[in-house]
Structure 1
């Protein structure tokens, strides 16, 4: 075992180095001691050493000559080495001497290099400082050149990039403290420029507002022309409606592209950009909103002092509206060209503020204004303003409410104005047929109102007399103006249209009823037949004109309702015309009554008069004048009515005289005389060539004929009675026969007279007469 360990150590020693031998020696020695084999191991180790010595000796014996040669060479080499060592020593001494000088030079070089580096560092530092200071100076230069963003970028560059490299210097630390001041100075400068811009654009924004309102006015006219060709477009769509906007889109040009508008928004956008870079957008948004609010108030307050409508001049008001429109167009452009800066709610709030101030100003300015034309001018300007603002999506409901208020006031004032005109026209009318001098006057008259003439009248030359008096065309012309001005005010309204249509109708009714109809109705109380006859003619034409007015309002009304408008005045004119007809009859009848009061009859004359009574001549003369002159221009239907009514009244009055119950006795001579008077009147009535009018005297004629008949008993024959005496009342027959029977009889009565009296007695005793009377 010990031998094996020795061999193992030898093998290991051959294959490994000394360090590794020691590693293997430890375990081997440990095994020897553990197994208590130290002595055998030492014996083996000794034997191993002797064996190796023998091998070495053997090897030396076989290589001795070569060994001697090697030793000789080694000795020679040793001598050479000693010589070389001496030379090296000498050389080292020389090198040491040279090295000392070189070291000194090197130290000098290192010191010089350090100094050079310090100089370079100082130079670089100075360059950095100079660049830093130059940048700081360029901030002011850029601000003066109004290049605020560049100035702000330089400040940021100083703060972020350059300040760190020079922070060890006092001026840099001072500059670090000044960075916020520089930023604030840039902000103040850009804000100042923006405010100057806000002030400077006032002129430009007014030009922009004027252009926008002029364009809206042209747009209104284009739509008015287009919608006039289609009723549905007119009544269902207004300016700014979807349909109108689609039609107008192709002709609309961006207002900023117009030559009249020169507004550069750069100062605002630049200011907004700077505030964004500083992270202070909210502050700028708030300040800008407050500035614009104050500017809007200032604009209105400056105009309020000079706003006055008493001089009927709306130039200042129009200029104010243009200024407001321009102001809000600028806001609209800013809203849509920026992000998260202005909101629609802010603009709506500002618009409401301006609207409130505008409403108050208008209310004060129009408070004592009584001129409807001024109200119309204000409305036209307001409508253009409203539709312009609406086209830019601003709220206009309060302004529309104002228009409604203005409309009601305008309606009252227009009614007052035209009522005075109408009253004056009606009151100052001469109530004579109108004379037209030439064709031009006639054509103008036809434009005022449509009227028809008889063909015979139409063929007449000029001058020509027309049936109506001048008040008719004058009033019709005023009414057309009244309605037209009403609807001119209404034009463009988007709401309450039916209410406005009703208001127009009611106002026109009021004018016609209170200031035309009422005046004519009052004039009917006069006793001037010519005037009343002319009023009847005027009423007839006015009644026809009312139909035209109704048609005109139906066509002009703002709603799509096709129901025909009906004026109450039309019916009143019709009723008043009937009243006027009755009034003529009443006056003529009154005159007839006055003349009949002159009638004096002898109830028991001894003979028959040779001619009719004289009062009848006066009566007929009066009726001839009335019929041929006073009532000449009346329509045939009215003349027939008046003739019939008057002659019926005359017949009734004569019948009353003839059958007067207070007269107890009459004779045949009275009946014959009265028959002569009635015959005279019948001849006069026959000149009218009207069967209906001639029938008015029939009851009286049949009664007289019966009393003068040679055979009164024929009355008892039903057939004869129905043919010849149908209009005779039995009680009149009884009364008149009793008067004849009780009259004194002459002593020399003829046989014929006695026969008549017997015939009268039979009729009186006839039961049919008594039963009819009862």
Structure 2
């Protein structure tokens, strides 16, 4: 506990502080704690004591001071009284002034109250004005949304609506108009979405209307690229190895800038699409918009496809319109995918593309049966190839279209084969089968240029008119063969991914045409009985064989790099070669048949009583016939074939002549009969000698030796092997005895036989021999 001394000191200090306080406030601030502390204990009484003591001490001090300075104090009191009087006066004036101020203050209070009241009204008016302004701004923005919609400023309208909803409406949430406008915001957004979709549908309609023209422009641009590539390839042949859309071609053509979507002919503005997409993004309806847009494009794709197309149109307008429309549609799709990948994915675009390709292929396939002309089919292929190259440049897959081109080629090859087969058959059936006459040099040059023919003389030595060995059908067929080859390879121009199939199909088709439509028909005409026609067919067959041999290296050289290397062998070459033998046999048959007919007219009197002075008529006719065919009908044949025909004809003639005395109808042959046969054989031998070919005479060896045997005085030599081999080695061992048995050595002279003839016979054979022969004849009889 604190000591009494300490408490006393604290009270003294508190009193000291209270007395020394400069103002009432501080006085109370110092007195209150002391009173509060004193009231807690017995110090209250002490505090009063200290205050009383302090007051007494101060009064004593004042009294002391007054006693010391009484006079001055009196003076001061007088002065104070004077001051008091002045103070009273001033107080009166102050009271009057205070009353005056109080009166003024009351008026001022009234004015101040009126001012406060007016300020409240003005504040209310200001608040109402601001609220009205805020509401009018909201209404202005709301009206502006509709005005912007009317001006087709859809995105601006959406931004105004967004500003209205997120900024201005929040400032007037306490007003009912804010609630009303807030409720109208979804309807306004829907209105904006519908308006922008309406504009987009209008844009899509225009795009659909523009698609065909866009495709037409794209095709034209591809044609221009083709032309430029061909020009570059002519300057640099190495560029022939690079097709359109290859890396080399694209680099070479990159200086030719051309925007298919923005050029002098067509402009496609994607602004409506961008705006629509942006607005739907802002509305949070991107997925819905993507689905609606995809459905709309699918519907437009269906509208793009006609129910059917006409492929036999001369201009090909129906197919061109279809492909141009598909191309324009696909180009827009690809451009849309590149510009707005969030709207159109590659899967969506490729799905539409595949669908359009399959529909186009189906439409073309349905109408393809109407096409019966290869040229029309070639135009169809050209349209499709141009379409493929155009779309390939836009990175679309074209595998299905390439496969369809293969089907077109198969039909094209069949149409070509059918047409040229008819042409060949007509050429073969209408040919005159006569050597082809040429009257002028230009005609000669044309025939030589189109035919695989090597003239025997230089061009300068040809004299006109002249005759070529082959008939007119050969150069006509050569022209058709060249056209056939060219038209086959026409299909591979510009774009065709299966050149090896062209090479194989061309070889097979050409083989079939030459074998069936030319060779077979020529062979069928070998049944003719006209030797000249058969000879001409043989000559034509030989030239066709040469043509096939010439064609084989040409086909090998024309083959594409994708084909297997090596030589090309045409089966038709062997067909023509083998049927040359057939024609030769047919010539043999006709010549031998004629020989048979001529020899069949032989009228030998094997028991002739007299000798014939002249060769038989049939022999003269036979040699004349052989000479004529050699110098006319067979003149155009190669020498080896002519000699072969002559060799066979003479061999056959010798055999037939030898068969005359061997006939079972001939019982006896006298020397006169043998002499007649010998004269004819000698005549034939002399004719063969005029031909200048010793080999041909070998055909008559058997006949000559047989005549020698029949005329031999000692016929028994034939039965001696050594002598027979030496003198009669070519005589048949069976025919010799038969003829010897038929021989008689006497000649029966009729009663009316004239002496001059008898003398002639006697002088030739001897009188005794003649008489002996007559005796033996009479004995035999």
TM normalised by structure 2 equals: 0.82
Conserved in 1, the CA contact under 8 Å of 2:336 and 2:344?
yes
- Which of 314, 322, 325 aligns to 2:324? It is 322
Partner of 1:350: 352
Aligned-residue offset at 1:632: 1.1
- Which of 582, 593, 612 aligns to 2:615? It is 612
The 10-residue stretch of structure 1 (736-745 or 393-402) with the greater mean CA deviation from structure 2: 736-745
The 10-residue stretch of structure 1 (214-223 or 570-579) with the greater mean CA deviation from structure 2: 214-223
Partner of 1:429: 431
Is 1:568–2:577 an aligned residue pair? no
Cα 1:222–1:581, aligned 2, differ >3 Å: closer, same or farther? farther
Conserved in 1, the CA contact under 8 Å of 2:548 and 2:573?
yes
Partner of 1:289: 294
The 10-residue stretch of structure 1 (77-86 or 367-376) with the greater mean CA deviation from structure 2: 77-86
Is 1:621–2:624 an aligned residue pair? yes
Is 1:589–2:577 an aligned residue pair? no
- Partners of 1:6 and 1:456 lie apart in 2 by 164
Structure 1 spans left out of the alignment, 5+ residues: 758-774
- Partners of 2:549 and 2:157 lie apart in 1 by 80
Superimposed CA distance per residue, residues 353-379 of structure 1 (whole angstroms, 9 cap, x where no aligned partner): 222332232233223332222222212
Cα 1:569–1:742, aligned 2, differ >3 Å: closer, same or farther? closer
1:629-708 correspondence to structure 2 within 5 Å: 629-657=632-660, 671-705=674-708
- Partners of 1:704 and 1:718 lie apart in 2 by 18
Indicate the RMSD between aligned Cα atoms, in angstroms. Answer: 4.3
Conserved in 1, the CA contact under 8 Å of 2:169 and 2:178?
yes
- Partners of 1:438 and 1:215 lie apart in 2 by 49
Conserved in 1, the CA contact under 8 Å of 2:615 and 2:683?
yes
The 10-residue stretch of structure 1 (606-615 or 683-692) with the greater mean CA deviation from structure 2: 606-615
Cα 1:549–1:249, aligned 2, differ >3 Å: closer, same or farther? farther
Conserved in 2, the CA contact under 8 Å of 1:487 and 1:556?
no
Conserved in 2, the CA contact under 8 Å of 1:204 and 1:262?
no
- Which of 148, 154, 163 aligns to 1:157? It is 163
- Partners of 1:460 and 1:253 lie apart in 2 by 60
- Partners of 1:563 and 1:232 lie apart in 2 by 23
Is 1:240–2:242 an aligned residue pair? no
SS class of match (2:527):
coil
The 10-residue stretch of structure 1 (614-623 or 158-167) with the greater mean CA deviation from structure 2: 158-167
Cα 1:673–1:745, aligned 2, differ >3 Å: closer, same or farther? closer
1:106-255 correspondence to structure 2 within 5 Å: 106-223=112-229, 238-251=243-256, 253-255=258-260
Aligned-residue offset at 1:527: 1.1
Partner of 1:440: 442
SS class of match (2:370):
coil
- Partners of 2:296 and 2:3 lie apart in 1 by 114
Superimposed CA distance per residue, residues 389-436 of structure 1 (whole angstroms, 9 cap, x where no aligned partner): 222122323322322222222222222222222211111111112233
- Partners of 2:134 and 2:57 lie apart in 1 by 86
Partner of 1:388: 390
- Partners of 1:644 and 1:69 lie apart in 2 by 199
Cα 1:276–1:64, aligned 2, differ >3 Å: closer, same or farther? farther
Cα 1:165–1:24, aligned 2, differ >3 Å: closer, same or farther? closer
Cα 1:329–1:636, aligned 2, differ >3 Å: closer, same or farther? same
Cα 1:129–1:541, aligned 2, differ >3 Å: closer, same or farther? same
SS class of match (1:731):
coil
- Partners of 2:233 and 2:448 lie apart in 1 by 27
Superimposed CA distance per residue, residues 618-648 of structure 1 (whole angstroms, 9 cap, x where no aligned partner): 1111112211111111222322222222222
Partner of 2:369: 367
Aligned-residue offset at 1:232: 8.6
Cα 1:318–1:58, aligned 2, differ >3 Å: closer, same or farther? closer
Structure 2 spans left out of the alignment, 5+ residues: 19-26, 748-761, 774-781
SS class of match (1:367):
helix
- Partners of 2:159 and 2:577 lie apart in 1 by 90
Partner of 2:80: 76
Partner of 2:757: none
The 10-residue stretch of structure 1 (245-254 or 476-485) with the greater mean CA deviation from structure 2: 245-254
Partner of 2:285: 280
The 10-residue stretch of structure 1 (656-665 or 419-428) with the greater mean CA deviation from structure 2: 656-665
Partner of 1:767: none
The 10-residue stretch of structure 1 (155-164 or 676-685) with the greater mean CA deviation from structure 2: 676-685
Aligned-residue offset at 1:141: 2.1
Partner of 1:453: 455
Cα 1:87–1:709, aligned 2, differ >3 Å: closer, same or farther? farther
Aligned-residue offset at 1:457: 7.3
Is 1:300–2:305 an aligned residue pair? yes
Conserved in 2, the CA contact under 8 Å of 1:659 and 1:736?
no
Is 1:258–2:263 an aligned residue pair? yes
Conserved in 2, the CA contact under 8 Å of 1:436 and 1:466?
yes
Conserved in 1, the CA contact under 8 Å of 2:611 and 2:672?
yes
- Partners of 1:60 and 1:532 lie apart in 2 by 188
Conserved in 1, the CA contact under 8 Å of 2:706 and 2:728?
no
Conserved in 1, the CA contact under 8 Å of 2:405 and 2:496?
no
- Partners of 1:7 and 1:704 lie apart in 2 by 202
- Partners of 1:353 and 1:704 lie apart in 2 by 93
TM normalised by structure 1 equals: 0.83
Q: How many residues align?
A: 738
Conserved in 2, the CA contact under 8 Å of 1:376 and 1:489?
yes
Conserved in 2, the CA contact under 8 Å of 1:12 and 1:21?
no
Cα 1:573–1:114, aligned 2, differ >3 Å: closer, same or farther? same
- Partners of 2:70 and 2:657 lie apart in 1 by 205
- Partners of 2:331 and 2:714 lie apart in 1 by 108
- Partners of 2:769 and 2:75 lie apart in 1 by 229
- Which of 509, 512, 516 aligns to 1:510? It is 512
Is 1:580–2:583 an aligned residue pair? yes
- Partners of 1:369 and 1:604 lie apart in 2 by 79
Superimposed CA distance per residue, residues 319-341 of structure 1 (whole angstroms, 9 cap, x where no aligned partner): 22222212221222222122311
Is 1:499–2:501 an aligned residue pair? yes
- Partners of 1:679 and 1:640 lie apart in 2 by 21
Partner of 1:331: 333
Superimposed CA distance per residue, residues 81-129 of structure 1 (whole angstroms, 9 cap, x where no aligned partner): 7776665544433322221111110111111112222222222222222
Cα 1:101–1:177, aligned 2, differ >3 Å: closer, same or farther? same
Aligned-residue offset at 1:255: 1.7
Aligned-residue offset at 1:659: 5.8
Pick 1 or 2: higher relative contact order, CA cutoff 8 A, min separation 6: 1
- Partners of 1:364 and 1:524 lie apart in 2 by 45
Cα 1:6–1:584, aligned 2, differ >3 Å: closer, same or farther? closer
- Partners of 2:74 and 2:189 lie apart in 1 by 94
Cα 1:229–1:448, aligned 2, differ >3 Å: closer, same or farther? farther
Superimposed CA distance per residue, residues 215-270 of structure 1 (whole angstroms, 9 cap, x where no aligned partner): 22343455456668999976x75433444444444445222343111322222222
